[in-house]
Amino acid sequence: GGDRRGKPRAPSFLTFEEIGGQDRAKKELKEALDFLIRYDEIQKLGIRPLKGILLTGPPGTGKTLMAKAAAHYTNSVFMAAAGSEFVEMYVGVGASRIRDLFKEARTRAQKENKESAIIFIDEIDVIGGKRDGGQHREYDQTLNQLLTEMDGIHTSESPRVLIVAATNRKEMLDSALLRPGRFDRHIEVDLPDKKGRLHILNIHSKNKPIAEAVELEHVAEETFGFSGAQLESVMNEAAIYAMRDEVSHIEQRHLSLAVDKVMMGEKTDRESTK
């Protein structure tokens, strides 16, 4: 709402309402986050603090969105990194980046007067893959540093730090990461069902002129197996087709063409990686 024309959307202020489908995942995540919010009760009962949440599922399903919404929901500072950013040629550089990330999260939380910080690590499998007898010393050090940082999170600490990590290859993760007190809460962020797809299409058509006769329901039906990211692409491509047609509104046929295009794009991507 309000007049936000021309202003880029602040990416860290995203709410759960802007995430389509994923009802179960959202509910589970909110429940887990209540551990961060209802912290005093947790502490009084002697419950172990929640340190790590692992989001699993295929690419483009909204894991990053979930982490951002989590920060908004808990009024936390949000920091994001990707596993691949810690891969360096020199031993120790990745580990020191991890250290810096945690340090910065704490500093920013203090500066912004927030009681908690959420650190999002995408592609955690890149640094947290199964260790195989010291062959990847650099990866080991980075992972060890992450484990050290997690073990160093204490109940009494302020700001409270929570790590949300994402992977689409959970089976690849080193078991050390999955132990109690580390990433012991797993939430599956799966491909959306038809209802979820319709919800996502609705979200991404909000800023677009759609002809009255358009039935997004039909698009939702046609897009079995599409991720949220692909559905966002469909809406975008449809708008491009409308522009090419020099019409002011997106029509059903633009959407059908867009669905085909995104589906084909997917296929050629897959074929080229074979």
**Sites of contact with ligand ATP (CB under 6 A):** 19-22, 59-65, 122, 166, 168, 200, 203, 228-229, 232
> Rounded CA gap, 229 and 65, in Å?
11
- Residue whose CB is nearest to ligand ATP in the complex, by number: 228
Compute how many other C-beta atoms are within 10 angstroms of the C-beta atom of residue 224.
11
Closest to ligand ATP by CB, 75 vs 236, is 236
| C-alpha radius of gyration, the chain, whole number | 21
Closest to ligand ATP by CB, 95 vs 189, is 189
> Rounded CA gap, 188 and 236, in Å?
27
Closest to ligand ATP by CB, 95 vs 163, is 163
- The CB-of-46 to ligand ATP minimum distance in angstroms stands at 34
- The CB-of-70 to ligand ATP minimum distance in angstroms stands at 12
User: In this structure, are residues 178 and 79 in contact, taking their beta carbons and an 8 Å threshold?
Assistant: no
- The CB-of-107 to ligand ATP minimum distance in angstroms stands at 26
- The CB-of-66 to ligand ATP minimum distance in angstroms stands at 7
Single out the residue of 245, 261, 252 nearest to residue 210, CA to CA. Answer: 252
**148, two tokens:** 């050290």
Closest to ligand ATP by CB, 74 vs 141, is 74
Closest to ligand ATP by CB, 98 vs 200, is 200
> Rounded CA gap, 91 and 139, in Å?
8
Closest to ligand ATP by CB, 153 vs 201, is 201
Q: What is the DSSP letter of 198?
A: H
- The CB-of-263 to ligand ATP minimum distance in angstroms stands at 16
- The CB-of-197 to ligand ATP minimum distance in angstroms stands at 9
> Rounded CA gap, 232 and 239, in Å?
11
What length is written for the chain?
274
> Rounded CA gap, 253 and 257, in Å?
6
Q: What three-state secondary structure class fits 27?
A: helix
- The CB-of-40 to ligand ATP minimum distance in angstroms stands at 32
- The CB-of-248 to ligand ATP minimum distance in angstroms stands at 24
Q: What three-state secondary structure class fits 52?
A: strand
Closest to ligand ATP by CB, 95 vs 231, is 231
Q: Which H or E run contains 267?
A: helix 252-273
User: In this structure, are residues 20 and 220 in contact, taking their beta carbons and an 8 Å threshold?
Assistant: no
Closest to ligand ATP by CB, 25 vs 117, is 25
Backbone angles phi, psi at 196, to 5 degrees: -65, -40
